[in-house]
Chains A and B, each alone.
Chain A
Amino acid sequence: MKNKLSPAIVCGFGAAVLSTIPGVKSLGCCIILPAATVLSLYFYLRITSFSQSISVKSAMFFGLITGLSSALFSVFFDVMITYIFRNNDLVQSLTEVEILLNTYNLGEIGNETIRILKHMGKEITTKGFSPLYTTFLLFNNIIIDSIFGIIGGLIGMSIFNKKYFTNL
């Protein structure tokens, strides 16, 4: 089981690294994670010597593990980078977001949103860590990466079953 899951964890790690590099993200966009899952399925097939086709269930499971691995590693990298530089996307876009929110007449909700954002920004610039921001990032990444991982798993399953197991 350990051997079977290692391609998913390694590819998830790779996807997390790639999504952290600024230039790569603008090229790969939303393709990085599904591509990582496709690659992990290929490695899995190589480990099992292409002995059996991939079922929908195992493709989704592989996608889920790759997505979870990518989410956890990317949050770890983000937290580390934020801690070192005491700066991140949230802090950089804070003024811009505040101006934007002020253009709409949101009343108390708008003021509260700005207050929360400023609080997170202050924590990041002073301590290098914001528990609220990290929690949000973790939940967000887990949900989105799992979905994209599962989509990648299904694409990978279709490609490899078509290529290697056409006469099922």
Chain B
Amino acid sequence: MAIWIAGFSLFSFLPQDSRLHAFYPLMKTSYGRVCHQQPDKSFLINGSHFLVCSRCTGIYLGGFIALLFSFFSITKYFRTTFRYFVIFSLLMFVDVLINNFILVEYNKTSAFFTGYLFSFFAVYFVIFEIKRNNFFQRSQRNTNL
């Protein structure tokens, strides 16, 4: 996940004379598979656009942070994750509609944060469910023994 995030933001932070710039066309095509890459919808840092749009940036970053959080006990406070997951999925869906059909100018900040929150709770929800399933399967096995 960290490599994936580093990949799409790499070219914004590379020095001007870095030879890694030669990989730009390759990386752009690779990320193009999962994002429209429209420059007006992507973050511009150091004169170079990210290889994914602001919503995708939020989605990947949110997923990464959720994965990091899952290692700590802080996540035990998010018990009703399914509810959050549904709420933020709807919020992102509404934001997609508003940004593409109502607003004249694309709002990168709202796209980033709705993507971030959706992904954070989606990943956390998945981790929570996997842990829960494992717990039930283990307890079932113990009862059978």
Contacts and interface: CB of A to CB of B under 8 A. Distances in A.
B24 interface: yes
B21 A104 contact: yes
Nearest to B97: A27
A144 B129 contact: no
Contacts of A145: 33
A89 B19 CA distance: 24
Contacts, number: 88
B33 A101 contact: no
A30 B96 contact: no
B22 to A, nearest CB: 4
| Residue from the set A55, A141, A144, A158 with the largest chain B CB neighbour count within 10 Å | A158
A105 interface: yes
Main secondary structure of the interface of B (DSSP, over half): helix
Contacts of A19: 33
Contacts of A33: 34
A6 interface: no
A47 interface: no
B129 A157 contact: yes
B130 A158 contact: yes
Given A144-B30, A168-B136, A110 B21 contact: yes
Interface string A98-109: 001100111101
B35 A29 contact: yes
Interface of B: 16-19, 21-22, 24-26, 28-30, 32-36, 38, 41, 52-53, 55-56, 59, 82, 96, 100, 122, 125-126, 128-130, 133, 136-137, 140
Given A113-B25, A154-B130, 5 more contacts: A27-B100, A29-B56, A97-B25, A101-B21, A140-B30
